[in-house]
Structure 1
Amino acid sequence: MTEGPRNPFIYKPQLGLAPPAKMPGVNEPCWCGSGVKYKKCHRDRESKAEANPFADSAKMRTASKKGRCLHPDSGGGHCGSTAIGSHTVQKNGGLKAIAEEGHVLTTFVGFEDIQKANGAPEPKRMGVNDASTFPGFCNKHDTELFAPIEGSSLNLGPKEAFLFLYRSHCLELARKRVVVGHLPTFKKMDSGKPMQAQFAIQDGMRAYEQGLLLSLTSMEAEKNDMDGALLSENWADVHYCQVEFDGLLPLTTTCGFYPEFDWDGNDLQDLSDLSQPGLPLSFTITSFEGYSSAILVWRGPQDDLRKQFVTSFLGVSDAEKAGRIAAFAFEVSENTQIKPSWWVGLPSSVRERLIAKTAHGTIVAQPEASAMKDVAPLTSPLAVKSVLTSWA
């Protein structure tokens, strides 16, 4: 078991950009690698006005609310309709079950919130109409496609599991596209900075860009493959697990993630090994008929490290499962919605610890194997009501 650096693009800056031995000529390509002439890029940038990260964040937030429907039409193309704010967790089930006065708290915060809070922002209050939404699908496709997992009850099978997986993948892809689209803006964040700071910022941005583009390429390919499976209704390689509790967890979430450790803190995959593609899992916490479920789904071989991750969770004592999975939501998902009174009622030290977990795996903090054993204290104990796996 190790707790060393995991992401080479974040934690190994020697893979990034070295300061130039000498400045390029005014008509030569800029040292930062932009491909633009030096005189139109970094020349005299230290004397220019400092960048405004809050204004740039507002632009990115606006862009994140716009998009085209991601559903493939029957002809194999893509629906051309404008996307609505698609919920990643059903509003009338999972969200309303934890909402108070029509609102929840969310860990999906803006760049300015992160900056102002020095990397550890409090969850923000948000209405259930807007919580957990992204510009994923037009109204027609959103309603028709996800009807099997949007009702008051759930009968989980391969098709339903695929829909949980597909929605979480589209969420992650849509948000990744927005970030990549704003890379040129991010690269100008060194405006007004001294030369040495410019080198450091561009070094980090070069590495960040490489990681983003690699991830986006992989996600686009997976989306195309999933579109084919959706149109042909081929669920043969879909594997899933549902753990249902005997009451309500105080949160919901949906995300896609790459499990690096199992629930005992053992290594599963090294994301710094770029010769091996990362193996993702879909993770959802929502509720049906007043009972919360944790649902994990993947496509591909049944018996790989993802099953190992799931079976290690099943090996956690039933008395701890609810608290462990609740803490895990803060570890891997920026799309977690929280019951306000539960959050306010937690000791400040617990809130600080859970907030700190949201930074794991980012440029702020590396992931920690020991974090897999964290427990979020619940208002009342929850027992396991049932367990369903596709391989049982």
Structure 2
Amino acid sequence: MEIRPNGDQKGRFYEAIKQKFNKCLCPNMDCEKPAIRAHSVQKATALSFIEEAQHVYGLKMTLKGAEPICEFEKIGRNNASTFTGFCSQHDTELFRPIDTKPLNLKDEEQLFLIAYRSVTRELHAVFEGAAKLQHVHETNVKMGLVKADAPSISAFAPVQALHKAWLTWRYRSDHYDKNLLKGRFKEIAHSIFTISGRLPVVASSSFFPTVENPRDNKKPRIALNMIPVSANETAFIFSYPKAQSADARKFMAPVMLKNGEDRLLALSTFALDTIENFFLRPSHVDSWSAEKRASIQKAYFSTVKDGAFLAPKPEYMLF
């Protein structure tokens, strides 16, 4: 029998998703200052090349009645891609080389920091997810729906989420924090390409595993940044630990071994399969047919809900 949320359950759902995590996630994780809202995709540069009337489009998961759905939603440029991952001091000091200078795709420090911001944004997301699940469990206990000292799904879920957060932190610590503190920027490798002569339509900052639900950190995790750099050029940066280059490049091969429109379709499918923190030019999305828009929303939802693996289809083209 399918259980559908009643009004009280929906209220608890919306209360849970409001829970925020705002600890400063600096390299040593020892900062007690409150985190500020900062952009994972730079507002003044990357987002400025795709925003229209101060807005971009993003994909959002929500409830429609009793059913979860995924829809494109306009987001104010000031709110797009923000996360509370660093205090003001650490955000300013850590990212000064990318926030105050033009992007140089040969600058190893800049490339490292772009990836580091993506990694930390994901670390923040998994910590916040665990906080939301813990809130749900505590609410269930208060309402008498489960016992505090008895096994239950609501008790297990935040523990599982915290384990995921711990794995993500360990990966950042092993491959990024230690190298950042010692200035070893070359320990993170990058596969980069650009497209020129066309209007930028996508910007993203993401970090994801190359295997489903990894239980250890032996397999690479990849940062993907899609960065509009001018009115007619976009840079695409895949970043991964040099020590895990072979497996990372094998994972990226469906994109990197193609060219032209075939590469962009492969990248579009790759993005829908693996990332969620990406934004699009509003007029570009509005130019799509209703069928194409619905197809992309459905494909993205299938990867989030069911872990579906997408095969490239023309209607998945984001560019």
Query: In the alignment, what sits opposite 1:171?
Result: 121
Spell out, residue by residue over 1:212-269, the C-alpha distance to the aligned partner (whole angstroms, 9 max, x if none): 233212112123332222111112421111111113341211111123xxxxxxxxx4
Query: In the alignment, what sits opposite 1:101?
Result: 53
Of stretches 244-253 and 181-190 in structure 1, the one that deviates more from structure 2 is 181-190
Contact 1:282 1:296 in 2 (8 A): yes
Query: In the alignment, what sits opposite 1:373?
Result: 312
How many Å apart are 1:274 and its aligned residue?
4.2
Which whole-Å CA distance do the structure 2 matches of 1:275 and 1:378 have between them?
32
Query: In the alignment, what sits opposite 2:18?
Result: 61
Aligned AA for 1:140? Q
Q: Describe the shift of the 1:61–1:278 C-alpha distance in structure 2 as closer, same or farther (beyond 3 A).
A: farther
Q: Describe the shift of the 1:378–1:256 C-alpha distance in structure 2 as closer, same or farther (beyond 3 A).
A: closer
Q: 1:244 aligns with which of 191, 194, 197?
A: 194
Which whole-Å CA distance do the structure 2 matches of 1:54 and 1:328 have between them?
35
Query: In the alignment, what sits opposite 2:292?
Result: 350
How many Å apart are 1:360 and its aligned residue?
3.7
Query: In the alignment, what sits opposite 1:142?
Result: 91
How many Å apart are 1:130 and its aligned residue?
0.9
Q: 1:86 aligns with which of 29, 33, 38?
A: 38
Spell out, residue by residue over 1:274-323, the C-alpha distance to the aligned partner (whole angstroms, 9 max, x if none): 47744211111111133111111011425432111233322123222223
4+ aligned runs moved over 6 Å, structure 1? 188-191
Q: 1:127 aligns with which of 67, 73, 76?
A: 76
Which whole-Å CA distance do the structure 1 matches of 2:243 and 2:80 have between them?
34
Query: In the alignment, what sits opposite 1:254?
Result: 205
How many Å apart are 1:77 and its aligned residue?
5.5
Spell out, residue by residue over 1:73-107, the C-alpha distance to the aligned partner (whole angstroms, 9 max, x if none): xxx56333222211011111111111110011122
Query: In the alignment, what sits opposite 1:186?
Result: 136
Contact 1:250 1:338 in 2 (8 A): yes
> What SS class does the counterpart of residue 228 from structure 1 fall into?
helix
Two-structure CA RMSD over aligned residues (Å): 3.2
Pairs aligned (count): 304
How many Å apart are 1:331 and its aligned residue?
2.6
Q: 1:298 aligns with which of 231, 236, 240?
A: 240
Q: Describe the shift of the 1:121–1:103 C-alpha distance in structure 2 as closer, same or farther (beyond 3 A).
A: same
Which whole-Å CA distance do the structure 1 matches of 2:136 and 2:275 have between them?
23
Contact 2:189 2:245 in 1 (8 A): no
Query: In the alignment, what sits opposite 2:227?
Result: 286
Q: Describe the shift of the 1:84–1:108 C-alpha distance in structure 2 as closer, same or farther (beyond 3 A).
A: farther
Which whole-Å CA distance do the structure 2 matches of 1:229 and 1:250 have between them?
33
Contact 1:250 1:342 in 2 (8 A): yes
Contact 1:241 1:296 in 2 (8 A): yes
> What SS class does the counterpart of residue 89 from structure 1 fall into?
coil
Query: In the alignment, what sits opposite 2:148?
Result: none
Q: Describe the shift of the 1:357–1:170 C-alpha distance in structure 2 as closer, same or farther (beyond 3 A).
A: same
Q: Describe the shift of the 1:217–1:275 C-alpha distance in structure 2 as closer, same or farther (beyond 3 A).
A: closer
Q: 1:158 aligns with which of 86, 108, 111?
A: 108
Spell out, residue by residue over 1:50-87, the C-alpha distance to the aligned partner (whole angstroms, 9 max, x if none): 743345434533515xx132223xxx563332222110
Which whole-Å CA distance do the structure 2 matches of 1:143 and 1:315 have between them?
37
Which whole-Å CA distance do the structure 1 matches of 2:66 and 2:287 have between them?
21
| Larger relative strand fraction | 2
Which whole-Å CA distance do the structure 1 matches of 2:216 and 2:45 have between them?
41
Q: 1:223 aligns with which of 159, 172, 183?
A: 172
Which whole-Å CA distance do the structure 2 matches of 1:276 and 1:83 have between them?
27
Contact 2:171 2:217 in 1 (8 A): no
Q: Describe the shift of the 1:276–1:59 C-alpha distance in structure 2 as closer, same or farther (beyond 3 A).
A: closer
Aligned AA for 1:90? Q
Bigger relative contact order, structure 1 or 2 (CA pairs below 8 A, ≥6 apart):
1
How many Å apart are 1:162 and its aligned residue?
1.7
1:71 and 2:26 aligned: yes
Of stretches 338-347 and 150-159 in structure 1, the one that deviates more from structure 2 is 150-159
Question: How high is the TM-score relative to the length of structure 1?
Answer: 0.68
> What SS class does the counterpart of residue 264 from structure 2 fall into?
helix
Aligned AA for 2:91? D
How many Å apart are 1:177 and its aligned residue?
0.9
How many Å apart are 1:117 and its aligned residue?
8.0
Q: Describe the shift of the 1:174–1:311 C-alpha distance in structure 2 as closer, same or farther (beyond 3 A).
A: same
